[in-house]
Structure 1
Amino acid sequence: MARHLLRRLGQAVLVVLGVVVVSFLIARQVPGDAAIAAEGARASQAQLDEARERLGLDQPLPVQLWHYLQALAQGDLGESLTTQQAVTSDLGRALPASLELVLAAMLLAVVVGIPLGVLAARYRRGPVDTTVRLSSMLMVSAPVFLLALAIQLTFATRLGWFPAAGEYDRALDQTSPLTVYTNLTALDALITGNWPILVSTLHHLVLPAVVLAAYPIGAVAQMTRAALLEESNQDHAEMERAMGFGRLAVLVRFSLRPAIGPVLSLVALVFAYSLVNSFLVEAIFNWPGLGSYTANAIRSVDAPAIAGVTLVIALVYVFLNLVVDLVQTALDPRVRAA
């Protein structure tokens, strides 16, 4: 187990290093002038030259990359050209809001998607299976922006059941100010017992979380169904049915555990995908997070911020895949021997 963990950690480090280099090079190739972004369009040539020297843009690209790696090793992602603050500080404020939204969506994906996949496998080729498969295909195929606008128009604008935008009712800042510990608004409200903001946050969270969960629910349902059907054809499933266990019992009690590995791998990939996909959802529902920060960074040719966001998303991918790999190993020793 220790050797397996070390091997996976080594692979993760190499992947992160590759992403760092690629994201740095891509950020440097974004059209525009970082010096103008830092000094403004009205800056003189002397000011622009001084900015390029301060930012190291006058040095060869390999030298810039080396300095970036040295700073990164110390936890320094550089300074944002637009906010004039450390990128780590900006991400520390923007990332939690996005994570809050994505975590809610993934919770819905697991709670809804896995049971749907079990039902589809249990009633294979029946009306339930057909309904689940068609519904999951629609959820996977639906453009997120179109789904977001439709749900917002229906449940917020016309029916008025949920707020149309925002993270919580900002009027509560005056009556029930929130003490911030983690920048996860719902968690901070729960920790401090700020029930008005907690209720308001959960109320505002419903629509964007449902929109963001549509693709993961469909993908998880399809993967669960496929993995369970594959397991149900194994010898152990035949033996369990011969012992008198019903089809549903075989699926849930005996086949779900070995089949959960591929589902967990998919959840990890979909989590990181949803983190990127949340940018559109955040824009439509005016949810404060990485979406608006990234859009401003790209618009302003803010290379340090662009590289920082790319690195954070890559780290999420690598970390989740590492965790899923270790969980799979613990659940199924066959993975360890592979």
Structure 2
Amino acid sequence: MAPLKHLEKENPIIDVSFRDFCSSHGILTVEDFLLHDLYELAAFAERQKNADRLKEGITLLISLIELQCRPLLNGMELLEDLQCNKHTLSTGDKGADSLLQNGLREGQLTELVGPSSSGKTQFCMQAAASVAEKHVGGVLYIDTGNSFSARRIAQYICSSSDAALVQKVMSRISCHTVFDIYTMFDTLQCLEVTLKSQGQMNVNEYRLRLLVVDSISSLITPILGGSGSQGRALMVAIGYLLKKLAHEHNIAILVTNHTVAAGEDGKTKPALGETWKSIPHVRLMLSREHNNNNCTISILKHTSMPSGQTVKTMTLKDN
């Protein structure tokens, strides 16, 4: 999260006096500002001796935030962007690719839901290997539970007997370990800066094409306790940032989520609740059959396909 102090260099009105006023209302970062009731904040500013300057600072901060918002696009522009820039990326699994109409779509956030040991991490690593090899693209794998295995990913590379090819493909995959939501914000904001600078310099070699977060629920669940709204607001903010990166930089984003009990009948549902439900473009449920290692993927939500479609997919070798 960007501290307000970082804005002062280019915007002198966001000075110590303005930041002190904001901090007295619990506002230390841009995200805090967005979560606050701005009408209430402006009303408090009216009562101060330097009211005009404080209100000018509030107005400036709002305008700076609005500048970061995407411009409105009409239907034809969106269709052209989809056809020209939003390609599909193979997951490395024929069944999953068939279900998803050729794979993960760039510009979209796909969520893979499943209980523990259902194969979510294996699916993510197989997709990472597939994108790095078949699409000659860069992959960023954000690991929140020490589950990343370079050896396992190497096993998914088709010509794994070719050591030179394995080394080349593996060099396109980067892993970053993150254990809390605030580090996640920092990681994604640094990534956004890097992607923008690469775009300005026309750096296309091994362009980042897939971002994996395994698992998003491990970061969000700890902040959702209690009756306060801050945890939900942070959850929505991280979802928005992921979708923003996907759309603006033509990245396919794959996140994993666990399941929770839905009632006394033993059924389960995706974790993180109704607020998170609206964030992913695509939601998939991964389940592992009893008495064997076969897996099934079903569509819970999709932008262009009906829910309920199911396919038999990969066979797990182990947990």
TM-score, normalising length: structure 1: 0.24
Q: Greater Rg, structure 1 or structure 2?
A: 1
User: Larger strand proportion, structure 1 or 2?
Assistant: 2
Relative contact order (C-alpha < 8 Å, sep 6+): which is higher? 1
TM-score, normalising length: structure 2: 0.25
User: Larger helix proportion, structure 1 or 2?
Assistant: 1
